Structure 1
Amino acid sequence: MFRAAVRSAGVVARTAARPKPSVALRALSTTPARLSEGPKPELFGPGAKAGEVPTDENQATGLERAQVLAEREGVELFDENPLDSSRIGTLADPIKVLSYEHSRLVGCTGSPAESHELLWMNLTQQKKRRCPECGSVYELDYQGDSEVVLHELH
């Protein structure tokens, strides 16, 4: 019993001897972030004022905000036009799909358009893809930086 009392007193004495972390140290670590006067990112909207309903321009962030700002200036940021469905792509003359990425997801509805259900295919630079329903062939036309090399896709 005596030993237990001495042990607990030693634990209390050791914890009391440790320096307590000061609040100033924690506040100092966050001070540069709070007080920095750097420019605010353009892709974050200002938000709505109190009591107002925000518009898309006020609350959009990221790529959506970039698209909203581009539309305001009359520029189409993303190409949302459908692929050419006036013909069926062949191995000799496939339908080219422009991309800035090494792979792209493409949906085929047949030729003429809407002649079969929507089927999705993953195009890569390595090979052309044929729609299993209508037989149309698609090929990725990579427009990105040719120096960027990714590992082999499995």
Structure 2
Amino acid sequence: RTPSSATMAGRAVLRTALTALPALRPASRATLRPVAAAAPRFMSGRVPNPDPVWKQDSNLDNVIPSDMDQATGIERAEMLAEMEGKQLFEEGMVGPFGTDANPVMVESIYEERIVGCPGDCDKGNTSVNNEMRWFLVTSAQPYKCASCGQVFAIKKIKGAEYNF
């Protein structure tokens, strides 16, 4: 026999009441606390941001920071060196054509460095070729460019002390 619609509706009401019963417990059993002790709540549900560790001057609120303000790491070290009139890294072509007996010495504070070669160095027409060949030179052994035959080796130098 199938239950009537009234029986099914009664069961649904009973099930809803049993589910909501914990929320309907008497106020005497609930813990009450004064309103002043309650944690502040905001409409957005977010906690307000704490004060920053450092603050800018009030007249600098809408100023875009400079490159020096944002630079970190090696980029900052390069900028500090340029401000002192020094060049942290030798970026131009250095010296004559490197051979097995007299390789081009690439200065590095690390055990390896990425070096670029235009590839036509032996013919002297490097301005014609715009395609650089990039390779990794390690301190373990010199590297010979497959295109022009120039040899590169690492010259380990002590890193400058910069506060960055």
- TM band (smaller chain): 0.5 to 0.7
State the shift of 1:91 in Å: 2.3
CA distance in 2, matches of 1:129, 1:103: 11
Alignment identity in percent? 23
TM-score calculated relative to the size of structure 2: 0.52
CA distance in 2, matches of 1:86, 1:136: 10
Structure number, greater radius of gyration: 2
Give the superposed CA RMSD. 4.1
State the partner residue of 2:89.
Answer: 79
TM-score calculated relative to the size of structure 1: 0.55
Question: Which contiguous aligned blocks of 4+ residues in structure 1 show a shift greater than 6 angstroms?
Answer: none
* Structure 2 residue 121 is matched with structure 1 residue 107: no
State the shift of 1:37 in Å: 5.8
CA distance in 2, matches of 1:120, 1:35: 44
* Structure 2 residue 110 is matched with structure 1 residue 96: no
Number of aligned residue pairs: give it: 122
1:1-154 mapped onto 2 (5 Å cutoff): 1=12, 2-10=14-22, 22-23=39-40, 31=50, 34=51, 36=53, 59-60=66-67, 61-63=70-72, 67-68=78-79, 70-72=81-83, 74-87=84-97, 89-109=98-118, 110-111=121-122, 112=124, 114=126, 116=129, 117-144=131-158
* Runs of 5+ unmatched residues, structure 1: 41-46, 146-154
* Runs of 5+ unmatched residues, structure 2: 1-11, 42-46, 160-164
SS in structure 2 at match of 1:5: helix
